[in-house]
Amino acid sequence: MIRWLLVGCSLLSLAPAPLRAQDKGDLERRVKAAFLYKFAGYVEWPAACFPDAATPVRIAVLGDERLRAELATMVLGRTVNGRPVVVTAYSEDDSLEGVHVLFVGRSEAARLGKLSDDARKRSVLLVSDVDRALDQGSVIGFVLNRRRVRFDISLAAASRSGLSLSSRLLSVARAVVTVGS
């Protein structure tokens, strides 16, 4: 009996807690990447955002390189409304010209307010996992709710950006804010 207890304890030590926490973080990142890809299919941009029929949907990621890599792998060979999808890293020196979706990670929280102004002017769907992202101008803000990735939507921010969001997208949001932000 004691022998089996020692074997059991030895086996438990092979799966350290940080590994399990990392797995949870990887799953959260994969879910967010899938949402980012899916969001693009439920948004209608002004016609000027797509100069021609071959213009791809461009998703830029700032502040989470692992999410960018996950998303880039996920969208390989996929399309959104018949358009190819391109995933790029976004940096401080980049322009939002040609970007359709911009994700801003928590590590870039200080830049979210300025980016929201630029995104609004260019009709970019701004998505973030920064705390209180909608208050800082994001159209969509990721939130963790009972250890699940959910999202809130600001219709006011979408409207100011010239974006139309599908009622199907609104129906699966945790919350839809219609004023402010």
Give residue 5's Cα distance to chain centre. Answer: 45
For the cut 70, the answer to whether the pLDDT of residue 161 exceeds it is: yes
Burial of 112 (0-12, 13-18, 19+ CB in 10 A): buried
Domain count, the chain: 1
Residues 173 and 32: their CA atoms lie apart, in Å, by 13
- pLDDT-derived band at 175 (thresholds 50, 70, 90) equals very high
Listed in sequence order, the residues at least 6 apart from 141 whose beta carbon sits closer than 8 Å to its beta carbon are 127, 128, 129, 130, 132, 133, 134, 151, 152, 153, 154
Residues 42 and 94: their CA atoms lie apart, in Å, by 26
pTM (predicted TM-score): 0.85
CATH number reported for the structural domain that contains residue 85 in this entry: 3.40.50
Q: What pLDDT digit, counting tens, does each position of 12-57 carry?
A: 333 333 334 456 678 999 999 999 999 999 999 999 999 998 999 9
Does residue 147 lie within any of the structural domains? Answer: yes
Residues 90 and 92: their CA atoms lie apart, in Å, by 7
Question: What is residue 93's predicted lDDT score, i.e. its pLDDT?
Answer: 83
Does residue 75 lie within any of the structural domains? Answer: yes
Q: What pLDDT digit, counting tens, does each position of 124-146 carry?
A: 999 999 999 999 999 999 999 88
What is the DSSP code (8-state) at residue 121?
H
Question: Tokens representing 160?
Answer: 């100011």
> CB 162: neighbour CB atoms within 10 A?
16
For the cut 90, the answer to whether the pLDDT of residue 159 exceeds it is: yes
Does residue 2 lie within any of the structural domains? Answer: no
125: containing domain? 16-177
Determine contact, residues 66/29, Cβ cutoff 8 Å: yes
Does residue 3 lie within any of the structural domains? Answer: no
Does residue 5 lie within any of the structural domains? Answer: no
Q: What pLDDT digit, counting tens, does each position of 91-110 carry?
A: 978 899 999 999 999 999 99
